[in-house]
């Protein structure tokens, strides 16, 4: 009887050890699954999604433009090469996504400007411009781009859906005009075109409205 009791105690201990081992194996499998779902690879580094990439060159100066992320917020990097003094990479967190980029010598000083066009997330697709100007071939500085609400004529009936393009030495912006009561998907006020010129300001260069037309 004593031997039978001893055997029962040993068997219970063995079952407990097997159960603990199985539970540890379950936790390890869950950890593997969670790691795979989070997008972390075998190296332990999170995978990065490139949303936009473009390399532009003008007058022996190059800009490598890249965005990481495809959600409502992304990281924009601008890496210049060919500048005499400062070729430091610029990193910005932006709302929305970059849709295009262009390069042009807008003020005809022999050095380029880089223009990066963005749209916000959501149905409105509100546009913005991130721009930099080369300073005498040595460094770059950001250009101020005014919010459309700063000009009453330009902003009347505006609800996003912008398109941007460089035309000769001007920045041109087009968007549909909304009348009161228009839905976001059905503007009835035609199209407005705004032409911007690059000028020197007190603190930095800036875009100013040169012409507004509708058709």
**pLDDT over 70 at 30, yes or no:** no
pLDDT of residue 46: 55
What pLDDT digit, counting tens, does each position of 154-170 carry? 999 999 999 999 999 99
Question: Nearest Cα to 143, choosing from 83, 211, 198?
Answer: 198
Q: How far from the centroid of its chain's Cα atoms is residue 173's Cα?
A: 19
What pLDDT digit, counting tens, does each position of 64-103 carry? 999 998 778 899 999 999 999 999 999 999 999 999 999 9
**pLDDT over 60 at 41, yes or no:** no
**pLDDT over 60 at 107, yes or no:** yes
Q: How confident is the model at residue 9 (pLDDT cuts 50, 70, 90)?
A: low
CB 101 within 8 A of CB 54: yes
User: E strands, the chain, where?
Assistant: 50-58, 61-68, 73-81, 90-95, 97-104, 113-119, 127-135, 139-143, 163-167, 170-176, 191-200, 205-214
What pLDDT digit, counting tens, does each position of 47-62 carry? 678 899 999 999 999 9
């Amino acid at each position: 009887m004593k031997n039978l009791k001893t055997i029962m105690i040993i068997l219970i201990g063995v079952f407990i050890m097997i159960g603990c081992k199985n539970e540890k194996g379950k936790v390890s499998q869950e950890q593997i699954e969670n790691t795979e779902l989070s997008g972390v690879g075998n190296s332990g580094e999170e995978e990065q999604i490139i949303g936009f990439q473009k390399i532009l060159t003008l007058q022996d100066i190059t800009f490598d433009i890249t965005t990481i992320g495809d959600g409502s917020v992304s990281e924009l990097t601008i890496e210049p090469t060919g500048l005499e003094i400062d070729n430091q990479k610029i990193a910005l967190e932006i709302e929305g996504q970059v849709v295009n980029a262009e390069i042009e010598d807008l003020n005809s000083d022999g050095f380029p400007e880089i223009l990066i066009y963005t749209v916000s997330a959501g149905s409105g697709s509100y546009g913005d411009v991130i721009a930099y100007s080369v300073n005498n071939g040595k460094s770059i500085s950001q250009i101020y781009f005014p919010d459309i609400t700063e000009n009453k004529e330009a902003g009347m009936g505006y609800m996003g859906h912008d398109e941007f393009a460089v035309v000769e030495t001007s920045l041109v912006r087009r968007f549909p005009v909304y009348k009161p009561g228009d839905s976001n998907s059905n503007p009835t006020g035609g199209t407005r075109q705004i032409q911007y010129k690059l000028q020197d300001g007190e603190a930095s260069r800036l875009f100013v409205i040169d012409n507004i037309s509708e058709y």
